Amino acid sequence: MIEQALDFRDESDALFALLESLGDSDWTRETQFKRWTPNDIVAHLHMGNYAADLSLKGGEDFTAFGRRLAEMGRGSGRHLDATHNWLEGAKGRDLLTISRRFYHEMANRFAVAEPKTRVKWFGPDMSVLSSISARLMETWAHGQALYDAFGQTRKDADRIKNIAVIGINTFGWTFANRKIAPPGARPNVALVSPSGARWEWLTAGSDDLIEGEATEFCQVVAQTRNIADTSLRVIGETAAKWMAIAQCFAGPPENPPAPGTRFRQP
């Protein structure tokens, strides 16, 4: 049993509970993430889940789906446009229902899969375990924009440790993705979990340290908050340089939000 698949389902259910209460007009409200609306975010998450499920079933179907999306986005060049075209106009509560039914079925398939099996993705191949962990991370990260837009403070669970681990593991990737060498060894990281437990990732020979709430660390590495808008304690040059550009997701280099631009709205 892959526990991360159940964590993904639970995180998706938590987001569903927020979205279930939205009125019709709420679905077109712009968020602080690229002015995406709830319709955009749910569509994007559902497409990613669908693609991950295809990759679990086999590489040929996934490759064909990627080509289909590229064709649907031809003209605008926007990945989001291709996603909406693929969904044939499904929006609002209809889209939410489609998404929920699918991610529950998908979570069940991932839960019983072989964790080390390699599967295709839009970037490098990855393991099944990494694939479902990435779906959890993306659901949590994009969900932040929705919680913020509707003035809600998310009550995190210790399942965000999966996201913290991705953040730790992508220390080197953050710099390599920008074609620069890491300025030093990975800093020590000490976090307080939502339940109050202490999580530590120590590096022999490093005096650099990042310390604080696990939620805030995950927000920084997933680029839903600027490090300046957190209370994380950052000690050392390498730690500071990492937190300034941390990126735990695949794709070309992305800059974190500017200070003060991502926050819980009234």
188, containing H or E segment: strand 188-192
Q: Looking at domain 3-155, what is its CATH homologous superfamily?
A: dinb family like domain (1.20.120.450)
Q: Structural domain boundaries of the chain?
A: 3-155, 161-245
Query: d(Cα 127, Cα 149) in Å, to the nearest integer?
Result: 34
Residues of the chain with pLDDT under 70: 75-77
| pLDDT of res. 77 | 58
Confidence at residue 76, expressed as pLDDT on a 0 to 100 scale: 63
What's the pTM value of the predicted model, to 2 decimals? Answer: 0.97
Q: How far does Cα 29 stand from its chain's mean position?
A: 21
The pLDDT score that the predictor gives to residue 87 is 96
Instruction: Retrieve residue 180's tokens.
Output: 């620069």
How many angstroms separate the CA atoms of 82 and 195, rounded? Answer: 40
Q: Which two tokens stand for residue 80?
A: 């989001």
Residues 151/253/57/101 CA torsion (nearest 10 deg): 10
Q: Select the CATH number that applies to the domain covering 161-245 from these four: 3.40.960, 1.10.3470, 3.30.1050, 2.10.260.
A: 3.30.1050
Q: What is the pLDDT of residue 75?
A: 64
